[in-house]
DNA sequence: CGGCAACTTGATTTCTTTCAAGAGAAGTGG
DNA sequence: CCACTTCTCTTGAAAGAAATCAAGTTGCCG
């Protein structure tokens, strides 16, 4: 297991949405947040268990998944540095709604429920930042639902899933969706992609070869390039 | 168009999540919120347009839908009294992500973006309430995505959609999901149900008759009764 | 009564899943 | 360094399910 040499990194890390907080608020944050190190393939949060704390991911990637009784798996998204885990559950439902599993060795901070609530009600700006974070996550979830419901064909589901993945990496929020190739790091297996798009592993495999043949897609070792994003939106209903 | 006799109702209405606010905060709320009356089948919010205000539904029901370029429609949910419309868009993306259409004559309050942000940052409790509301909406959206992704069969998608609809009506948050019949008002057409569950209108029709034959479902004029909720979860993958 | 919207039901077609088998790459341990 | 296991990916064939196309019914409202 790889650990940072010291806590220097961890003690200063705060999520992006807290960048505009006052100094006292930030000090409060660092006083209640406890740092932890986790290996790959560890479970940080378990679906259905009581939401006793909120986690903040400092480094590494974390899969958020939901499982059905029959063993089927839905991959909601892959969280990265700066993301909150279990925030909505802590604020609302008292029970985590997804399972969080590390993909890499991770550094995380945890804040117990009571401490977090106190921190939030003490500083108005914190409430505001948290609300914005939640709004962002909400929009992501709505887009996911939309994707799953609106695309009838498997090709459409997979294409829009890939486009979403590509665009999350691009911090580019410009109003002009370009038709220039988008390239991004693909760390998901076909099985993962299938459980994001609601498709079987084999179908994903078949479709990717089809996209490649159609000239829409290029793949190197761990990168994926979408050659004509706009056409891709349109071509695969 | 049916309008209340006076503004008495409207001037005192505040969403449930504001019930614990201080008197000054509530007064502030009522001073910035403007009341409107809308007929059935009016569009309150349009997908893609800039999020200039947040709406609060006082009475009536509102459909939240997203449309694809091909004319396909996804019905995210039906909002009721006390619900916010456009909250996440206003806080995060600056663009509404869904279209809101009235189903009944509605009374709504609107608050311009700037006023709302000021209101929120002024009172810590407001930030907290808003965060909780967003957490609730987020969980709903995740459950919707989950439903669409995890159920392979059309029967499973429709059954879980109906169960969700039934349970939203029940304010019963008890940890014991009973197997007693659940009855609820069904104001959605087969087409609506189809666009919630990601199915065609005909498939919904066929499945409802099948559920009826299976003894899982009873329907009167505008009510629907799910006879064995737990079996229903299990039976239709 | 006419007209429209919602619903029902049947037949056909299309697509995805499932089952099956094998190839390639990566990691493990002797 | 090599044999072995495991995981991922690929591809084929068959079965099954939902969408689509089509036609007809019901019920409500003007």
Q: What pLDDT is attached to residue B141?
A: 97
3 state SS for chain A: CCCCCCCHHHHHCCCHHHCCCCHHHHHHHHHHCEEEEECCCCEEECCCCECCEEEEEEECCEEEEEECCCCCEEEEEEECCCCEECHHHHHHHCECCCEEEECCCEEEEEEEHHHHHHHHHHCHHHHHHHHHHHHHHHHHHHHHHHHHHHCCCHHHHHHHHHHHHHHHHCCCCCCCCCCCCEEEECCCCHHHHHHHHCCCHHHHHHHHHHHHHCCCEEECCCEEEECCHHHHHHHCC
- Tens of pLDDT, residues A45-63: 999 999 999 999 999 999 9
pLDDT at A172: 55
Minimal Cβ distance to B88: which of A92, A125, A138: A138
Interval B196-218 mean pLDDT: 95
The CA-to-CA distance between both ends of chain A, in Å, stands at 45
Q: What is the pLDDT of residues B19-43, one digit of tens each?
A: 888 889 999 999 999 999 998 889 9
The pLDDT value given to residue A8: 43
| Strand duo B223-226 + B84-85: pairing | unpaired
What band does B2 get if pLDDT is binned at 50, 70 and 90?
Answer: very low
- Residue-wise pLDDT for B62-80, tens only, equals 999 999 988 899 999 999 9
Question: Which residues on adjacent β-strands are paired with residue B217?
Answer: B226
Tell me which chain A residues have a C-beta less than 8 angstroms from the C-beta of B198: 148-150
Reading the block at residue A237, the tokens are 């209903």
* d(CA A60, C1' D19) / Å: 43
Q: Residue B103: phi, psi to the nearest 5?
A: -100, -35
* Dist. CA B236–CA B213, nearest whole Å: 14
pLDDT tens profile B86-121 = 999 999 878 999 999 998 899 999 999 999 999 998
Its sign, for the CA torsion B201, B199, B230, A96, is negative
Structure tokens at A71: 């063993």
Place of tokens 């695309």: A151
pLDDT at residue B174, as a whole number: 54
Q: Which nucleotides of C are covered by protein (CB under 7 A)?
A: 5-11, 15-20
Tell me what percent of the residues of chain B surpass a pLDDT of 90.
Answer: 71
pTM of the shown model: 0.91
Quickly state the pLDDT bin for A75 (edges 50, 70, 90): very high
Going by the DSSP 8-state scheme, the letter that residue A18 receives in this structure is G
Residue B11, pLDDT above cutoff 80 = no
- Which letter, b or e, does each residue of A106-143 get, where b requires 16 or more Cβ atoms within 10 Å of its Cβ? bbbbbbebebbeebbeebbbbbbbbbbbbbbbbbbbbb
Instruction: Report the C-alpha gap between A110 and A131 in whole angstroms.
Output: 19
Percent of chain B residues past pLDDT 70, beyond the cut: 92
Give B231→chain A minimum CA distance, Å: 13
Two structure tokens written together for A221: 């070792």
Mean pLDDT of A59-83: 93
Residue nearest to nucleotide D21 (CA to C1'): B202
Share of chain A above pLDDT 70, in %: 92
Report, as an integer, the average pLDDT of A102-117.
Answer: 93
Question: Which bases of chain D come closer than 7 Å to a protein CB?
Answer: 7-13, 17-22
Q: Which pLDDT does position B142 carry in this prediction?
A: 96
Interface of B with A in 72-131 (CB under 8 A): 72-74, 76, 87-93, 97-98, 120-128, 130-131
Cα A160 to Cα A126: distance, rounded to the nearest angstrom: 34
Whether the per-residue pLDDT at B162 is higher than 80: the answer is: yes
pLDDT of residue B9: 54
Q: Residue A109 has which token pair?
A: 């901070």
Beta bridge partners of B102: B62
pLDDT surpassing 60 at residue B212 = yes
Q: Which residue of B144, B149, B237 is in closest CB contact with A70?
A: B237
What average pLDDT does the segment B51-69 reach? Answer: 94
Q: In the prediction, which pLDDT does A7 show? A: 46
d(CA B165, CA B80): 12
* pLDDT number for residue B121: 87
State the DSSP code for A138.
H
User: Distance between CA atoms of B148 and B196, rounded to whole angstroms?
Assistant: 9
pLDDT of residue A55: 97
What is the Cα–Cα distance from A128 to A123, expressed in whole angstroms? 9
- What is the overall mean pLDDT for chain B? 89
Say how far A39 CA is from C28 C1', in Å. 19
**pLDDT band (50, 70, 90) for residue A125:** confident
B219: nearest nucleotide, CA–C1' criterion? C7
Show Cβ contacts of residue B171 under 8 Å, excluding neighbours closer than 6 positions: none
Q: What percent of chain A has pLDDT over 90?
A: 67
At residue A6, the pLDDT reads 41
- Look at A8-12, B58-62, B116-120, B184-188 and tell me which has the smallest mean pLDDT: A8-12
pLDDT of residue B8: 44
Give per-residue pLDDT as tens, A151-201.
999 999 999 999 999 988 776 555 566 788 999 999 899 999 999 999 999
The answer to whether some atom of strand D lies closer than 7 Å to the beta carbon of A210 is: no
Instruction: Choose the mutation target among A94, A135, A157, A232 for the interface with B, i.e. most B CBs under 10 Å.
Output: A135
Residue A148 CB burial class (10 angstroms; 0-12, 13-18, ≥19): buried
What is the reported pLDDT for A124?
85
Tokens 């985590």 belong to A96
Cα dist from B83 to A84, B51, B61, B64, B79, whole Å: 25, 17, 10, 12, 6
Residue A16 CA, chain-centre distance (Å), reads 15
User: Quick one: average pLDDT of A62-91?
Assistant: 94
Angstrom distance, A22 CA to D7 C1'? 49
**pLDDT band for position B233 (cuts 50, 70, 90):** confident
């Amino acid at each position: 297991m790889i650990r940072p040499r010291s806590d220097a990194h961890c003690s200063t890390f705060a999520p992006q949405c807290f960048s505009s907080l006052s100094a006292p608020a930030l000090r409060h944050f660092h006083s209640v947040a406890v740092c932890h190190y986790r290996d790959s393939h560890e479970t940080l949060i378990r679906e259905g268990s009581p939401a006793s704390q909120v986690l903040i991911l400092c480094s590494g990637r974390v899969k958020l998944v939901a499982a059905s009784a029959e063993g089927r798996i839905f991959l909601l998204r892959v969280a990265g540095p700066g993301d909150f885990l279990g925030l909505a559950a802590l604020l609302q439902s008292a029970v985590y709604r997804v399972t969080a599993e590390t993909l890499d060795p991770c550094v995380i901070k945890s804040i117990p429920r009571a401490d977090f609530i106190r921190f939030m009600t003490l500083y108005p700006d914190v409430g505001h930042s948290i609300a914005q974070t939640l709004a962002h996550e909400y929009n992501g979830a709505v887009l996911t639902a939309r994707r799953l419901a609106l695309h009838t064909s498997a090709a459409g589901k997979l294409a829009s899933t890939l486009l979403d993945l590509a665009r999350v990496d691009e911090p580019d929020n410009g109003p002009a969706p370009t038709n220039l190739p988008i390239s991004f790091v693909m760390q998901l297996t076909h099985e993962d992609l299938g459980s994001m798009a609601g498709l079987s592993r084999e179908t994903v495999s078949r479709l990717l070869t089809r996209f490649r043949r159609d000239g829409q897609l290029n793949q190197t070792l761990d990168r994926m390039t979408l050659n004509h994003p706009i056409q891709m939106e349109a071509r695969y209903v």
